[in-house]
Amino acid sequence: MKLKTNLSVLSWVILIFLVLTWGSSFILMKKGLEEYSYQQVALLRLSITCLVLLPFVIMSIKKVNLKKLGRMAIVGIVGNGIPAFLFTKAETGIDSSLAGILNSLTPLFTLIVGLSFFQSKTKWYNVLGVIIGLGGTVGLMSVSGNKNLEFNFSYGIYVIVATLLYAINLNFVKRHLKEVDAVTITSFAFLTIGIPALIYLFAATDFINVIQTRPNAYTGLGYITILGIFGSAIAVILYNKLIKTSGVLFAASVTYLMPIVAVFWGIADGERFELIYLLWIMIILLGVFMVNYVRNTKSIPEKSSQ
């Protein structure tokens, strides 16, 4: 792949940090699910992130107009809120490593969404890359774990929908919030979903009972807290910065290496992994490679900064 030469060292440092952080997020969700329901894990993650970012909301509130606030609410719902529930639901039925691998579909959907709604250009290589990537996904789900394709797909579809929402969010931030700094976008996005999540957590779930009765409840809460602080608050700020400074597809390419980290943690936690998985993983990444190769060299020149 011909990489852009105008990417800064900081962009690569952020990319590596995101790979390690988000690649580890799947095992953290799995650990949280050992003590809490998938809804509670998602609600806790959103609530904790919101509280961590609340000081930034207070500092930035005077410079945010209502129009931008509405757009940041969309980012919160589409790019963070709904995917949080989709991923935890998925991991009630599939391994954390498979969820991490399926997340690599994000760049493919980024291309599709860009073509469909954001007037992006493409060539036939892009389309072929999408087909190859999706084919690899079906193949991987057909052999993963101890379940059949129908079972894996019934839970894997949650991750696939989440990656589609990520793709929509990527293009939306780049197009409609390019003049807003990453901290403001992230803090207000989580404010719009975090407060309702916190209220619902205490008012409509048995969270208090779980905390009081389960012996390892605080251990599970610790995993989710790490997920909320590093996997959401810090990581999403850096991710939004990466979108704005280095381009949509470079930011989406964080998913190239995330599966490696996710698979490593899965194996360490005793999840099943066979060599045939590597074939399908490579097919998925080949599709992503083809999409980015054409886009980075011939389709849409992207600015190095805003």
pLDDT band per the 50, 70, 90 thresholds, residue 299: very low
Maximum distance among all Cα pairs of the chain, rounded to whole angstroms: 59
pLDDT at residue 100 greater than cutoff 80:
yes
Q: Which two tokens stand for residue 157?
A: 């579809």
pLDDT band per the 50, 70, 90 thresholds, residue 146: low
Residue 95 and residue 103: Cα distance in Å, rounded? 13
Q: For residue 154, how many other CB atoms are within 10 A of its CB?
A: 15
Q: Domain residues of the chain, as ranges?
A: 9-299
What amino acid is encoded at 167 in this protein? A
Residue 89 and residue 83: Cα distance in Å, rounded? 10
Q: Which residue has the higher pLDDT, 111 or 30?
A: 30
Please state the pTM of the whole predicted model.
0.80
Helix (H) or strand (E) holding 103: none
Q: What is the DSSP letter of 79?
A: I
Q: Are 104 and 258 within 8 A, CB to CB?
A: yes
How confident is the model over 2-44, as pLDDT tens digits?
444 445 778 888 888 988 998 899 999 999 999 999 999 999 9
pLDDT at residue 242 greater than cutoff 60:
yes
Stretch 291-304: mean pLDDT, rounded?
A: 45
| Residue recorded with tokens 């929908």 | 161
How confident is the model over 147-205, as pLDDT tens digits?
666 667 888 899 999 999 998 988 888 788 878 888 888 899 999 999 999 999 999 99
221, exposed or middle or buried, with CB in 10 Å at 0-12, 13-18, 19+?
Answer: buried
